[in-house]
Structure 1
């Protein structure tokens, strides 16, 4: 799995892959254990926290299924939010209301840790929803700190990303993958045209 979004919330949306338009081809989040595995890979959970959540999910499988369903719904509305912004449109008010409500819940379980500057932390949160809280918070941070024109959709796949290039010209999630594939398509097309 690639983390190319440049923001935790964008990487969460990118847990589905496929073509730029139409339905996704693949989904990383097929159950609660996969949600925990992704959160560990993305740096949201330590190995100890991930093990504790896996153990908790085995003790309460019904709650784990409910949490996984909630995660998929969260991903759906974040996907709608970021795709609208990438297309230069305003997201629907229902999407923003869901984000506001989820962000309020996330901050209700967070604490401020000393740093320079202070940072939000969910380290002592032992609930099954723990992996989602930093994701929702990252989404709010992204849309409230400006640079909405830097949220873009990849031209080669369905990933969304934050364009941090100096001239804001990034068009692909990754030059190693979609960028190279697009350049190869252009090269082959140009060779055919010359023949």
Structure 2
């Protein structure tokens, strides 16, 4: 829905466009691994290995999960600022730089059609975060920043890939339809009712 792995990671929290979130997909380390597998950041054998590792090292899993929440908060701050055409704080950008350096420190260059970073050999509990952080930096450094937008109906962020850059909703089936219905009902309520003569009642 976000059109980018980092934005999809931010969108694991849902709620209204303004104010605190009201639901969170990430409630623990197993949910982080499940999300990463669903989003394509992990292959299923990697996810299974991380589940085993987390059972053997619960403290390490707790620390990795806490770090994932911090990274998500940082990415949320960065991309909401970008969507509002504002500058993120220098401190959050410094943390993102450090997270990217850590991610690339665990990566290797693999050749497909072109060379790219992969984390197939990374057997550490922070593994689910590394492609997310890298996707965020890639979007910030090579993407069109004016295509990063916030949904008008909820708190989701997305990369607007429409030709005329006119996308306003995370999903027309969800927020778009709800907003159109809300406007329709509001317009009907605001429409003056015709006066009815007493004899016509």
Q: Identify the range of structure 1 (42-51 vs 131-140) with the bigger mean alpha-carbon deviation.
A: 42-51
Three-state SS of the structure 2 residue aligned to 1:24 is coil
Question: In the TM superposition, what is the alpha-carbon distance from 1:193 to its structure 2 partner?
Answer: 2.7
Deviations 1:22-41 (A, max 9, x none): 11001111100000000000
Matched positions, count: 192
Write the distance in 2 (CA, Å) between the matches of 1:139 and 1:123. 19
Question: In the TM superposition, what is the alpha-carbon distance from 1:127 to its structure 2 partner?
Answer: 0.4
Between Structure 1 and Structure 2, whose CA radius of gyration is higher?
2
| Aligned position for 2:198 | none
Write the distance in 2 (CA, Å) between the matches of 1:146 and 1:51. 33
TM-score (norm 1): 0.96
Three-state SS of the structure 2 residue aligned to 1:10 is helix
Runs of 4+ in 1 over 4 A off after TM superposition: none
Write the distance in 2 (CA, Å) between the matches of 1:55 and 1:24. 31
TM-score (norm 2): 0.94
Unaligned runs of 5+ in 2: 194-201
| Aligned position for 2:127 | 130
| 1:120 to 2:117 alignment | yes
Matches within 5 A, 1:57-76: 57-76=54-73
Three-state SS of the structure 2 residue aligned to 1:124 is coil
| 1:111 to 2:108 alignment | yes
Unaligned runs of 5+ in 1: none
Write the distance in 2 (CA, Å) between the matches of 1:133 and 1:151. 21
| Aligned position for 1:45 | 42
Deviations 1:87-108 (A, max 9, x none): 0000000111011100011001
Question: In the TM superposition, what is the alpha-carbon distance from 1:123 to its structure 2 partner?
Answer: 1.1
Matches within 5 A, 1:7-26: 7-26=4-23
* Alignment counterpart, residue 5 of structure 1, candidates 2, 6, 10: 2
